C-alpha cells in the first residue's frame, strides 16, 4: 500500500511540474519565476542541491526525475531536455541542450531497430565547472570532465578530458583551457571530481 501511495505522490508531482512549473515564463520577465521553479526542483522533487544562486529556466524537460541529480549553483536554460544525468557543481547549460540516458538497440540486424530492446539508464556524468553550448547533445554514458567547454551544436559521443574545449560532430578536442592542465594548485583545490 505504501508503494502505491508513493507512486501516486510521484505522479502528482510530475503532473504539477509539467502542467504548471514547466510553463512558468522565463525569469527575464520576473525573477520570482526562477524562485518558484528552483523551490519546486530543489525542495519538492529533490533532484537539485538547494542553492541561492542556481537558475532553472522554463520548459526544462527532466523526464520522470528518477535518474537526475543537479549540483549547486547550476544554470539550466530553457528548452533543455534531460533524460537522465548526474550534473556537478557550477555547470552552465545553454538553451536547447539534449542530455540522453537511453538509446535504441541496433545490434541485431535481423530485427528492425524500432523493435529491439532499448538500452536504458546509461547515465551521463557532467563534471564541475562545465559549460555546454546551445543545441549540444550529450550521449548516454558519456563523462564530461571537470572544467570542459562543449561548443554549440557539438555531439559528445565519448568521454572528455578535464579542462578541454570540444566542438563538432562528433565532438573533438580543439584545445585545453589551461596548459598544462591540473598543475595550478587553485585548480586542484577548487573542485572535487565526481566519482
Strands 164-167 and 172-176 come out as antiparallel
- Interior/surface letters 58-92, b for 16+ CB within 10 angstroms, e for the rest: bbbebbebebbbbbbbbbbbbbbebbbbbbbbbbb
pLDDT at 184: 57
Q: What is the distance between the alpha carbons of residues 89 and 74, in angstroms, rounded to a whole number? A: 6
Per-residue pLDDT reduced to its tens digit, 49-73 = 888 889 999 999 998 888 899 999 9
Q: Is the pLDDT of residue 129 over 80?
A: yes
pLDDT at 112: 87
Do 146 and 90 contact (CB within 8 A), yes or no? no
pLDDT at 72: 93
3-state secondary structure of 150: strand
pLDDT interval class at 103 (50, 70, 90): confident
- Selecting among 43, 53, 104, 184, the annotated active-site residue is 104
Examine the residue annotation and report whether 104 is marked as an active-site residue of this protein: yes
3-state secondary structure of 56: strand
Q: Is the pLDDT of residue 192 over 80?
A: no
Q: Please tell me whether the overall predicted TM-score, pTM, comes out greater than 0.95 for this model.
A: no
pLDDT interval class at 181 (50, 70, 90): low
Residue predicted with more confidence, 169 or 187:
169
Specify the range with the lowest mean pLDDT, choosing from 26-30, 152-156, 165-169. 26-30
Grid coordinates belonging to 170: 562528433
Please provide residue 170's backbone torsions phi and psi, each rounded to the nearest 5 degrees.
-70, 160
Amino acid at each position: 500500500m505504501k508503494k502505491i501511495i508513493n507512486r501516486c505522490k510521484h505522479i502528482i508531482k510530475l503532473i504539477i511540474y509539467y502542467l504548471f512549473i514547466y510553463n512558468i515564463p522565463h525569469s527575464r520577465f520576473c525573477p520570482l519565476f526562477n524562485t518558484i521553479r528552483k523551490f519546486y526542483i530543489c525542495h519538492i522533487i529533490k533532484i537539485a542541491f538547494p542553492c541561492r544562486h542556481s537558475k532553472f529556466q522554463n520548459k526544462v524537460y527532466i523526464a520522470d526525475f528518477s535518474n537526475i541529480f543537479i549540483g549547486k549553483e547550476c544554470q539550466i536554460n530553457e528548452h533543455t531536455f534531460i533524460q537522465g544525468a548526474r550534473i556537478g557543481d557550477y555547470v552552465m547549460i545553454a538553451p536547447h541542450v539534449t542530455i540522453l540516458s537511453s538509446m535504441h538497440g541496433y545490434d541485431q540486424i535481423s530485427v528492425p531497430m524500432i523493435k529491439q530492446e532499448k538500452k536504458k539508464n546509461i547515465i551521463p556524468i557532467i563534471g564541475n565547472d562545465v559549460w555546454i553550448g546551445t543545441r549540444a547533445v550529450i550521449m548516454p554514458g558519456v563523462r564530461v570532465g571537470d572544467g570542459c567547454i562543449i561548443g554549440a551544436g557539438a555531439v559528445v559521443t565519448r568521454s572528455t578530458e578535464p579542462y578541454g574545449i570540444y566542438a563538432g560532430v562528433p565532438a573533438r578536442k580543439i584545445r585545453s583551457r589551461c596548459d598544462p592542465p591540473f598543475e595550478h594548485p587553485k585548480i586542484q583545490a577548487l573542485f572535487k571530481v565526481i566519482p
